[in-house]
């Protein structure tokens, strides 16, 4: 990780990304590999929590409440005596689910809007872009909070809220990508050779537009996980007794004077996930740099 | 660039800003109407109203009128600064915002000053030299950016309030109580600020004017401070939009952790209680403030960096 250093490229003045974590690092290959390994472990915990712990996350044991970390309970226990390690492991699926779900939704909504804007003529383009500007004018988490207020708290609602609030960034990138690729020489060449429209889109436009999008998605996941756990910390995400990093921390906050463990480990899990996905995302971005319009992110 | 062109730019941006704010108000109005559940029932709370009571309150609030008429009256009230009444406290939303604005501005302002001071110091110290120090700093910045503010806040609370008893855990009355929340909010900004500043300084250090300044015998630190830093501040100005968003979102979480008064706390409570007039009010006001800020920022960038005036936005 010590090889991570500042990005030399200048930030584009004008449109500044607001909902993503603005990070500029250029991780070296070993750092990216280490981060990838951590990320793989986290993904494995989300898919198969039983591999890491045999304890059920919601098994209550009041006499053993608020113990510190030890041999019996690796991360200690919470106020009901539930095993904190098991809850952190099982919480991976919930927390990662919100982050990945929101990113997927933002990707789908944003791509659809961006493609429509780029292809459906000037009036539609202008309308879609103004809607994006309007949605981007709600600073930070506020749009997500507004959507949660409309839908009510819950896992799915929080996911939708964050996905919607992140979609405009994807829409702008897809639109600029589509416009650049459409004017590129290889598409013109394909048109000259009389290739069919569908074939050009499938063989030339889609693969070239996809790489930067996937990279943006990797970079966005971190922000989505932080946003999701912030909502759940405020009690607006997954509802109890569902183990989730944000709500575990919110519960633990009331017992800080007794046990520090309840506050440390869920947050550590969020931070480790976000750091590793950010490093992997930055590494991928570097690999794909120079392909398509790299300026969009 | 002539004054007329500048005026044209400003007019165009103002018109665009007005469209965005009107759009934000429309989104808020739609949100209000799309919300599941009857607002009148939410308003009456625990009471079990008769259908006649429900109808009466509905007429009182004008919810029985056609949607377009309601939209018109919503905009009309908005222009006069009337944002409706809170479901929970029944106070006017505009007064609620006015009362709670100061503690949040206090928190956000002190966090911003802290973050700027720390990141300028870090960036000047690590830009383009001391690879080890710089690597460590990069790693810490990444962690600072990635760690969610609620976790940082809770960690600081655990250590400084519950272990060392240095600062109070709750409240917003005195300066002592401001330290931990401000540091928490600032930590979220320091990582990003430092990275942007350092990239800017390193870019500037590669410029010929730095070489000529060094040739005249100016010291390393002096070159950074006097010649490179001003160049690095331009991208930081461009980041203002992100900063405002981070400060606002941060204060929602941080005011909740530290039980502080403020706008963020009002928002958190309102979303939990589904107090839609408060949420729509705060979002419209912050969208307007945000739009105005980005206009000012773009104007400021044009003043600071004349190169931006050549291709008008």
The CATH number given to whatever domain includes residue A203 is 1.10.3720.10
Cβ neighbourhood burial of A73 (10 Å; 0-12, 13-18, 19+) = buried
The tally of domains found in chain A comes to 1
CA distance A265 to B157: 15
Q: How far does the CA of residue A187 sit from the closest CA of chain B (Å)?
A: 29
pLDDT at A42: 92
Q: Is the bond into A57 cis (omega within 30 degrees of 0)? A: no
pLDDT bracket for residue A168 (50, 70, 90): very high
Can you give the residue range of the structural domain that contains A132?
31-43+73-288
Q: How far does the CA of residue B284 sit from the closest CA of chain A (Å)?
A: 8
Q: A22 lies in a domain?
A: no
CA distance A297 to A279: 15
Residue pointed to by tokens 């410029």 = B207
Cβ neighbourhood burial of B167 (10 Å; 0-12, 13-18, 19+) = middle
- Tell me which chain A residues have a C-beta less than 8 angstroms from the C-beta of B130: none
Strand partners, A6: A25
Residue B298, SS3? helix
Residue pointed to by tokens 């009010």 = B281
- For B76, residues 6+ apart whose C-beta sits below 8 A from its C-beta are none
CA distance B12 to B8: 6
Check pLDDT > 90 for residue A161: yes
Check pLDDT > 80 for residue A50: yes
pLDDT at A57: 81
Could you tell me if A222 lies within 8 Å of chain B, comparing CB atoms? yes
Check pLDDT > 60 for residue A254: yes
- Tell me which chain B residues have a C-beta less than 8 angstroms from the C-beta of A22: 192, 195-196, 239, 242
Residue pointed to by tokens 């109070």 = B168
Check pLDDT > 90 for residue A160: yes
State both tokens at A201.
């889109």
Q: Which one of A140, A253, A277 makes the best mutation probe of the B interface by having the most chain B beta carbons within 10 Å?
A: A140
Domains with residue ranges and CATH for chain B: 3-79 (no CATH), 98-310 (1.10.3720.10)
Q: Find the range with the poorest average confidence among B158-167, B201-210, B284-293.
A: B158-167
Q: How many CB pairs under 8 A join A and B?
A: 233
Residues within 8 A of B (CB atoms), A 14-53 only = 14, 16-19, 21-25
pLDDT bracket for residue A273 (50, 70, 90): very high
Considering only the beta carbons, identify the residue of B36, B158, B241 that sits closest to A16.
Answer: B241
Note whether A267 contacts B271, CB cutoff 8 Å. no
Sign of CA dihedral A103, A106, A109, A111: negative
Q: A193 lies in a domain?
A: yes
Note whether B195 contacts A145, CB cutoff 8 Å. no
pLDDT digits (tens, 9 = 90+) for A191-202: 899 888 888 877
What burial letters (b/e) apply to B120-133, b meaning 16+ CB within 10 Å? bebbbbbbbeeeee
pLDDT at A5: 34
Q: A281 lies in a domain?
A: yes
pLDDT bracket for residue A17 (50, 70, 90): very low
CA distance A155 to A157: 6
pTM of the model: 0.83
Q: How far does the CA of residue B20 sit from the closest CA of chain A (Å)?
A: 5
Q: A218 lies in a domain?
A: yes
Considering only the beta carbons, identify the residue of A140, A252, A274 that sits closest to B248.
Answer: A140
Considering only the beta carbons, identify the residue of A17, A226, A264 that sits closest to B148.
Answer: A226
Nearest residue of A to residue B313 by CA position? A14
Q: Which one of B30, B131, B158 makes the best mutation probe of the A interface by having the most chain A beta carbons within 10 Å?
A: B158
Q: A214 lies in a domain?
A: yes
State both tokens at B157.
């609370």
Note whether A142 contacts B267, CB cutoff 8 Å. yes
Could you tell me if A112 lies within 8 Å of chain B, comparing CB atoms? no
Nearest residue of A to residue B162 by CA position? A257
pLDDT at A228: 92
């Amino acid at each position: 990780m010590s090889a991570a250093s500042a990005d030399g490229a200048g930030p584009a003045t004008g449109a500044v990304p607001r909902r993503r974590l603005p990070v500029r690092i250029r991780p070296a290959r070993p750092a990216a590999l280490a981060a990838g390994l951590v990320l793989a472990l986290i993904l494995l915990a989300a898919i198969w929590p039983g591999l890491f712990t045999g304890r059920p996350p919601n098994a209550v044991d009041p006499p053993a409440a608020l113990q510190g970390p030890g041999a019996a309970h690796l991360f200690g226990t919470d106020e009901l005596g539930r095993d904190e390690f098991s809850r952190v492991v099982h919480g991976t699926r919930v927390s990662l689910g919100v982050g990945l779900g929101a990113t997927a939704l933002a990707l789908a909504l944003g791509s659809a809007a961006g493609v429509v804007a780029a292809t459906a003529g000037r009036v539609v383009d202008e309308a879609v872009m103004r809607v994006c500007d309007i949605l981007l004018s709600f600073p930070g988490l506020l749009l997500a909070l507004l959507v949660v207020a409309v839908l009510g708290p819950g896992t799915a609602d929080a996911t939708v809220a964050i996905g919607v609030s992140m979609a405009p960034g994807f829409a702008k990138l897809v639109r600029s990508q589509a416009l650049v690729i459409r004017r590129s020489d290889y598409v013109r060449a394909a048109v000259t050779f009389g290739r069919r429209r569908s074939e050009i889109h499938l063989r030339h436009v889609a693969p070239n537009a996809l790489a930067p999008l996937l990279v943006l998605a990797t970079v966005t996941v971190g922000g989505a996980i932080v946003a999701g756990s912030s909502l759940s910390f405020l009690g607006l995400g997954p509802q109890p007794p569902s183990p989730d990093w944000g709500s575990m921390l919110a519960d633990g906050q009331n017992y800080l004077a007794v046990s520090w463990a309840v506050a440390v480990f869920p947050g550590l899990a969020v931070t480790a996930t976000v750091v590793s996905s950010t490093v992997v995302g930055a590494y991928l971005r570097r690999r794909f740099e120079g392909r398509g319009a790299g300026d969009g992110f | 660039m002539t004054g007329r062109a500048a005026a044209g730019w400003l007019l165009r941006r103002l018109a665009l800003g007005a469209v965005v704010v009107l759009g934000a108000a429309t989104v808020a109005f739609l949100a209000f109407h799309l919300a599941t559940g009857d607002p009148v029932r939410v308003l009456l709370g625990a009471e079990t109203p008769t259908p006649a009571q429900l109808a009466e309150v509905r007429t009182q609030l004008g919810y029985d009128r056609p949607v377009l008429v309601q939209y018109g009256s919503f905009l009309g009230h908005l222009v006069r600064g009337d944002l409706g009444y809170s479901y929970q406290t029944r106070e006017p939303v505009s007064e609620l915002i006015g009362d709670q604005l100061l503690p949040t501005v206090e928190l956000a302002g002190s966090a911003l000053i802290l973050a700027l001071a720390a990141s300028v110091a870090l960036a000047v110290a690590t830009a383009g030299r001391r690879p080890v120090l710089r690597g460590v700093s990069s790693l810490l910045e990444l962690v600072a950016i990635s760690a969610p503010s609620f976790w940082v806040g809770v960690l600081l609370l655990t250590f400084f309030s519950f272990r060392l008893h240095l600062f109070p855990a709750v409240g917003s009355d005195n300066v002592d109580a401001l330290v931990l929340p401000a540091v928490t909010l600032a930590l979220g900004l320091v990582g990003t600020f430092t990275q942007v500043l350092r990239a800017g300084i390193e870019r500037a250090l590669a410029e010929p004017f730095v070489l000529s300044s060094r040739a005249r015998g100016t010291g390393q630190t002096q070159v950074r401070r006097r010649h490179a830093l001003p160049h690095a501040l331009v991208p930081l100005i461009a980041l203002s939009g992100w900063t405002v968003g981070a400060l606002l979102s941060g204060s929602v979480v941080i005011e909740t952790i530290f039980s502080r008064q403020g706008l963020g706390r009002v928002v958190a409570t309102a979303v939990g209680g589904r107090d839609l007039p408060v949420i729509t009010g705060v979002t419209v006001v912050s969208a307007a403030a945000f739009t105005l800020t980005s206009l000012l920022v773009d104007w400021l960038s044009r003043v600071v960096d004349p190169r931006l005036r050549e291709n008008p936005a």
